[in-house]
Structure 1
Amino acid sequence: MVVASPPPLARTGEKKLLLPKLPTVDLSGPRADVAQQIVKAAETVGFFKVTHHGVGPATVSRMAQESLGFFARPDHEKKRAGPADPFGYGCRNIGFNGDVGEVEYVLLNTHPGSIAQRSLTINSTDPTKFSSAAGGYIEAVKEVACEILDMMAEGLGATDAEAFSKLIRDVDSDSVLRLNHYPPFLLPSPSSAVDHPAAELKVGFGAHTDPQILTVLTSNDVAGLQVHVDGDVWVSVAPDPTAFFVNVGDVLQVAMTNGRFVSVKHRALNVNAAKPRLSMAYFAAPPLNCTISPLPEMVTPSRPSLYRAFTWAEYKKASYSLRLGDSRLDLFKTQQQ
């Protein structure tokens, strides 16, 4: 969804000291300390950067090279991998409700058989090369997501440390991988895009929250990702191709932590750059028939369940029936809310 009047940007040099600092979590630290850092970031911002995650640069580079190779092809070749219904190649149109952006993308089901089949149209000359790169990347990033989810559960004092991660380890997990390619937006001056009024910026992917449990994203060295924090402030995320960026999804907020974690609103802008931005987002999701409800430790007499139980299929259907910026959370509040 293209945002007609975006909230003010956090501009370089303007109230710089007042801008919130986005959290960074070093996964190589003492486990108990890391778990608490993750919980604090998930509670306060719903977003954090992860370093020392254990995924080798070659795994990320292979996936990025295969993605950029596909997006560099002529339009008529890329269209053979589409339309995104829901999986496959899409351009500008995001979903089925009129949302558009300055982006082209490939959406992949993460099951190996589905990837192998889709690879036939993504890289027709050597489909095994794409499927191998995608499969290796997905498995590596899934392990990062599971490790983070386990530490979230531990940090929350859950009896079952795998309460969250077992949902995406399930063979029927509905997790997906999205490859986003944003064209460069060249301004007449060499200034950074964050120094220009919001009206001069192009929205690559409109403001939204992710409906799944957790998102693990990496990108190249081109900026564009922004996170909505502290009421009405958009904070630009400095790119770091060596790190992953993690954000809490709706399911983790509304049901599994009973509102304790924050499903963060974010967007992608097409910034002033000489090359396109590539992002690769792994959306960790449970099986479609899985019933989602809060951890027992998250429900107390003083804090009853804020949202009714639902299946992921039910929430996904409601989510996809709305536009990007529309709120889904109110649909599942309990009657006392």
Structure 2
Amino acid sequence: MKMEKIRDDIEVPIIDLSNRSEASKQIIKACEELGFFKVINHGVPQEIISQIEEEARAFFSKPGSEKMRAGPPNPYGYGCKNIGLKGDVGEVEYLLLHPNSPFLSTHSDHFRCAAMGYVEAVKKLACEILDVMVEGLVGPDPNPKRSSVLSRLIRDSESDSILRFNHYPPSDGRIGFGEHTDPQILTLLRSNGAQGLQISVEDGVWVPVSPHPHSAFCVNVGDVLQVMTNGRFMSVRHRVAVQSYKSRMSMAYFAAPPLHATIGCLPGLATAEKPALFRSFSWGEYKEAAFTRRLGDSRLNLFTLLSQDN
């Protein structure tokens, strides 16, 4: 049986995006060491955040029969507890929307407008963070095409990004969402201030992520970004433990490239001393493999299949 340890002496970096040059350095350091950080002064208006949070709360407060009208999630819609293709079970109900068209027939006009505003704002934030990352990795570049090598994958009209709402009813400390990494490029997460999110800094060691009193976004590195940085950034393993005294609601924007996009090491990050660790592959290829795993399965098996030695 794997022994687990909770460490509360590790602080998650809080990065102020209003100082771009300093933020660039801090983001690179956080991505290398934890694969996770928080951002403040991010430019997403509080009004937009409050509107979508209110609409999401209203949706999850509906009777189960009404929520089921928005499901099943095939691929978008409402789901409850069964959170993996192979039957992984967690104490969570969720709603999946496509950011390019965040509408279901069961949603009100208020929900649709709130979703549109939120998607536009968090997409812009995701692109800004990715541009700052590239600047920190390879230095400022006057060529917009090179400096936006990551963000243009998200701006693409065929981007496979996802907007997900999770609701965790109060429970007795059970796992609400099991241990996993996000396969996409980047995840931007907001929550209602309830405890529960944990990141893994090493095997069996978990760090609680405390809610931030201001309107911070949590940001975590996904598998694709680890590949594109040639292993320099770490795709962080994380999970949610449900609290007994308060329900948790979170909103996650998973920034992903188009299914046909070719994923490979960014120019300049592979050298003679450290050649590219992975072969090029399409996002669709990796997504298909990633979403057929059970939660907690070793991601190394997927990375091994994509390594240059195979």
Shorter-chain TM-score above 0.5: yes
Closer/same/farther in 2, CA of residues 96 and 6 from structure 1, 3 Å limit:
farther
Match of residue 169 from structure 1: 155
* Alignment-mate amino acid for residue 251 of structure 1: V
Q: What residue ranges of structure 2 are gaps of 5+ in the alignment?
A: none
Q: Distance in 1 between matches of 2:84 and 2:205?
A: 26
Match of residue 24 from structure 2: 35
CA deviations 1:54-91 (Å, max 9, x no partner) are 11111111111111101000011111111111210000
Match of residue 6 from structure 2: 9
Counting only pairs closer than 5 Å after superposition, residues 12-161 of structure 1 correspond to structure 2 as 19-29=9-19, 31-112=20-101, 115-116=102-103, 118=104, 120-121=105-106, 123=107, 127-157=108-138, 159=141, 160-161=146-147
Identify the match of residue 212 of structure 1 among 184, 188, 203: 184
> Displacement, 1:184?
1.1
Q: Distance in 1 between matches of 2:295 and 2:75?
A: 15
Q: What residue ranges of structure 1 are gaps of 5+ in the alignment?
A: 11-15, 187-200
Q: Distance in 2 between matches of 1:315 and 1:308?
A: 12
> Displacement, 1:329?
2.0
> Displacement, 1:221?
1.4
Match of residue 178 from structure 1: 164
* Alignment-mate amino acid for residue 329 of structure 1: F
Q: Distance in 2 between matches of 1:87 and 1:100?
A: 18
Q: Distance in 2 between matches of 1:80 and 1:8?
A: 41
SS at match of 1:133: helix
Identity of aligned residues (%): 52
Match of residue 253 from structure 1: 226
Q: Distance in 1 between matches of 2:4 and 2:253?
A: 27
SS at match of 1:81: coil
CA deviations 1:110-168 (Å, max 9, x no partner) are 113xx23x1x22x3xxx221111111101101111111000000000165110100000
> Displacement, 1:300?
0.4
Match of residue 278 from structure 1: 249
SS at match of 2:284: helix
Match of residue 304 from structure 2: 330
Counting only pairs closer than 5 Å after superposition, residues 284-323 of structure 1 correspond to structure 2 as 284-323=255-294
Counting only pairs closer than 5 Å after superposition, residues 169-248 of structure 1 correspond to structure 2 as 169-185=155-171, 201-240=173-212, 242-248=215-221
> Displacement, 1:95?
2.4
SS at match of 2:189: strand
Q: Distance in 2 between matches of 1:85 and 1:330?
A: 29
Q: Distance in 2 between matches of 1:28 and 1:232?
A: 36
Q: Distance in 2 between matches of 1:104 and 1:5?
A: 28
Counterpart contact for 2:166–2:251, Cα < 8 Å: yes
* Alignment-mate amino acid for residue 175 of structure 2: V
Closer/same/farther in 2, CA of residues 235 and 88 from structure 1, 3 Å limit:
same
RMSD of aligned residue pairs (Cα, Å): 1.5
TM-score (norm 1): 0.86
Q: Distance in 2 between matches of 1:161 and 1:324?
A: 34
Counterpart contact for 2:2–2:204, Cα < 8 Å: no
> Displacement, 1:231?
4.0
Moved over 4 A (4+): none
Match of residue 13 from structure 1: none
SS at match of 1:141: helix
Give the length in aligned residue pairs: 301
